[in-house]
A and B are shown apart, each in its own frame.
Chain A
Amino acid sequence: MREIFRLWKGAMTFDTATFSALSASGDAFRKGFMVLLLVGLLVGLVNGGVQLAQTLSYGSATGEMQAVLGQIEQGMQQGFDIARQYGGEVDPEIKQMIMENLKAGFKIAKDVAKVPTPLPWPWGSIFEFLGRMASVPFAWLSSLILYGIFVHIFARALGGQASVGQFFGSIALARAPHLISVLNFIPCVGPLLGVLAAIWGFLIYIKATATSQRFGYGQAILAVLLPIIVLFLLLALFIIFIVVVSALTSAGQG
């Protein structure tokens, strides 16, 4: 546990010695994964816990459904108000029709909420909280590995020397700043902190790539950005191909 905290702290402060020691250890990916796992579980625990507390405050399955439906209705109403402010007022007749159908839909949802389950409310909500909490690190992991495969390929092509374990272990530390996402539940501040964590994490990703692959920051930035650049180029080529084919087809028909 102490080692994980040390790694987390080293990653947060861009400490070169921490990244170098991690790469040099024979167990880099396990250590990096543990940091990611713990941060992910903590974020899931706090944010899911706040959500669960709110759910429990509704008192019953029907109460929970009522609250959710109330939020939807409020959102719709706000949508109509915003549209009116920008000069796109919805026809009152259409608005009334939408709201009537919405209310009838809500009636179905309320009836569905009354269908019994073998275990009573709130067990379902508690289990969903547990499942959601444990899913957070794995959701992070899938994007980390998917993008990491391409970065590693480009890094090796640019002269990088990291083994698979060293590279993935190092970039797993890029999730360290996301610990501040435990405050996601705070309105307005939460999303801003998320943006801050993403930028901080991106910088750690570059540091981790440079240190583990044993090359400069320029090459590291290039290796990290190349997958996106190549993807955009492929997309552009595909669009050009479609445009040329459709132009040729219409010219042939003409």
Chain B
Amino acid sequence: MLGNLWRLCWRALFFREDAYEEMRDTPGPFGRGLLFIIILGAIVAAIGVVGATLEWATTPDMGQLGQAVMQSWMKGPWVQDIPPESLSYVQQTLDTVFNVMKNFTPNPVMGLANIVLNPLGLIIAWLVYGLLAHLFARLLGGQGRLEQTYGTTALAVSPVALNVFKVLPYVQIGGLALWGTVCNYLAIKSAHQLSPARAFWATVLPFVVLFLLLIIVSLLGALIFGAFFASLIQGGIQ
């Protein structure tokens, strides 16, 4: 079963429509799709641990780096023109910057955590996108069942396999999201047997909805925070 899944993955990755059709017609496409995403996500993340470790091993510790920058900066000609209270502010800001950077530098622990987090993230994205894509495909006249949509869109996660190149440190794998979008188009087209134009809209509209949702949530968040801070300021004034 696993061997067959890999063969499907390889064909789906290179835009072979027969791979998506095979997944659509296979019994239990949702379960197979879920299994495929879990294994693919975990394997890719496990390989990525090597790259993350090598990157960590050739990156200086952010704490030490921050100290070196601060000590060196304090010897600069500009220091004599800066008041002492501003100097401590600069130090605090630098500390904060390097503390934040610490969280973004790759390390083996984060790499290992990704073995769990990566499949989890992929599954959440797949479930949300698959549902929206199914709704739009049905609205546009699609005939596929929900489990068929999930089965084929699981195969559209195949470009993630190219993250195996992350066995090398400092590598940037560009274009996977776009590649995945083209795979999703083929997946929806096959699952619902839609015309190219309808399949295109069924692929794109979920992104539009998610983008709009993101804007609404951001605006609501900004409004809530704004109201909260306004009440704090008003409370302070009274």
Interface of A with B (CB < 8 Å)?
26-27, 29-30, 33, 100-101, 104-105, 107-108, 111-112, 114-119, 123-124, 127-128, 130-132, 134-135, 138-139, 141-146, 149, 153, 156, 163-165, 168-169
Contact = CB atoms under 8 A, between A and B. Distances in A.
A105 B186 CA distance: 53
Given A141-B179, A149-B178, A131 B168 contact: yes
Contacts of A149: 178, 181-182
Nearest to A122: B58
Contact of A127 (B17, B54, B73, B162): B54
Interface of chain A: mostly helix, strand, loop or mixed: helix
A165 B17 contact: yes
Q: How big is chain B's contact interface, by range?
A: 35 or more
Contacts, number: 125
Interface string B193-219: 000100010000000000000000000
A29 B165 CA distance: 19
Contacts of A130: 168-171
A246 B22 CA distance: 56
B78 to A, nearest CB: 7
Given A29-B14, A107-B76, A165-B15, A145 B178 contact: yes
A117 B173 contact: no
Given A131-B171, A131-B172, A163-B17, A104 B54 contact: no
Given A115-B61, A117-B57, A101 B78 contact: yes
Contacts of B16: 26-27, 165
B196 A156 contact: yes
